[in-house]
Amino acid sequence: MTKTFLGFIFVMLAIGQIAMANRAPHCPKGLPTQPEMLKKLQDLSLESPQKNYGVGGLFIHAENAVLIDAYRKLVTYKDTKIRPLNDIDFYSRFKEGSCDKALCAAQTIFGNEMGIAYLYYAAVYGINLSSLGYDRLKLPDPNYALEFKAWYTVRPWKNLEEMAPMLKAIVNLPKNIIPMTNTRMLHSGIVNPVKSSILANGLITFYEPFDKLRDDEKETITYHELGHTVGTEGHLDISDEWLEAAGWQVQGNQVINLRPEEFLSDYAAYKSDCFEDFAETFMYYRYYPQVLLEKSPRRYEYMKKYVYDGLEYLAERACAL
């Protein structure tokens, strides 16, 4: 499969992944509570380095630099690669108040509950849950009008309950991978106009059919999509080490797999490309490590060494890490 426009890959769900999602993940981590997230943000606010910074009509005073950066990502216009551009002007929301901290600002814009969650996941995990900042994007190529609509049509999250299965995938990421960079997680609110069966994509956009899945299915699909981000950011999914471990070989202008019997799911076999294979393997290592080890030991060892920094989930002691 060739990486296309802007390098983002559409992802569909296959029967094999649905079947595997019926199995309970190993060492699952629970979501942080509102008080836990609030305490983390309050503690972080007191840490150095601190700075003063103006963001979108608000002067933030003596605030932790990580929190300022996290808040700014939530309230800026984006380019097509999700990088922050100019701040959205919220002066009218702040001109009468005394807010001068990132947490107060996030709660003013997104509400008390969602503001805490948005800032927490942006600061700790580097993942942007805000739907703000996409309304000024311009279609760069008319030939990709449907793809553009699919990638950049977004709606706000309804509540924390709606986000919960996807947030569970985030908190199950290994510590060596976080925080991520320029990573978002949003709902489009539409059926994908390119292909109606698509549930989610590597830009981490969810589509209406995704809403009909069980929560455990949503979680593993989200983790798969996060695997695309991990593979792309470090160029891991095209590295020589990965291609060799997974049995991929370049033959002319094609990349074929020499060990198709080791594909982990019907989905991986159906897509049959090194990028989807990487994301699926990334998910299996975390959720179904024994299956991965038995089916493809070389894939397992690759993930252990190059992606998970030696952390394994086969033993119960890993649940405490």
Q: Strand, coil or helix: what is 242?
A: helix
Does residue 316 form part of some domain?
yes
Q: Over the range 190-222, which residues count as b (16 or more CB within 10 Å of their CB) and which as e?
A: eebbeeeebbbbbbbbbbebbeebeebbbbbbb
With beta carbons less than 8 A apart as the criterion, state whether 172 and 306 touch. Answer: no
Entry field: residues in the chain: 321
Copy the structure tokens of residue 174: 């290994």
Is residue 308 a part of any domain in this protein? yes
* 180 is a domain residue: no
Is 220 among the domain residues? no
- 8 A C-beta contact, residue 171 and residue 143: no
245 domain residue, yes or no = yes
Residue type, 198: I
DSSP 14-71: -HHHHHHHTSPPSS--PPPPHHHHHHHHHHHHTSSSEEEEEETTEEEEEEEHHHHHHH
3-state DSSP assignment of residue 115: helix
Q: Is residue 261 part of a domain?
A: yes
Burial of 156 (0-12, 13-18, 19+ CB in 10 A): middle
| Side chain identity at residue 242, one-letter code | W
Average confidence (pLDDT) per 10 residues, the chain, 321 residues:
38 39 63 98 96 95 97 96 93 90 98 98 98 95 95 97 98 95 95 96 95 97 96 93 95 89 79 89 96 96 97 75 55
Contact between 41 and 119 under an 8 Å Cβ cutoff? The reply is yes
**Domain assignment present for 159:** no
Instruction: Look up tokens 């798969």; give the residue.
Output: 224
Chain position carrying tokens 């990709």: 144
Q: Does the CA dihedral 160-89-41-180 come out positive or negative?
A: positive
**What per-residue confidence (pLDDT) applies to 26?**
65
What residue numbers bound the domain in which 279 lies? 235-320
Whether 21 maps to a domain, the answer reads no
Backbone angles phi, psi at 249, to 5 degrees: -140, 135
pTM value surpassing 0.85: yes
Tell me, what DSSP letter sits at residue 194?
S
Distance CA 269, CA 254 (A): 16
Closest CA to 267 of 219, 204, 220, 299: 220
Furthest CA-CA distance within the chain: 65
Structure tokens at 159: 């509540």
Helix H or strand E encompassing 153: none
Q: How far apart are CA 42 and CA 102, in angstroms?
A: 10
Residue with tokens 């999602």: 21
Q: How many domains does the chain have?
A: 1
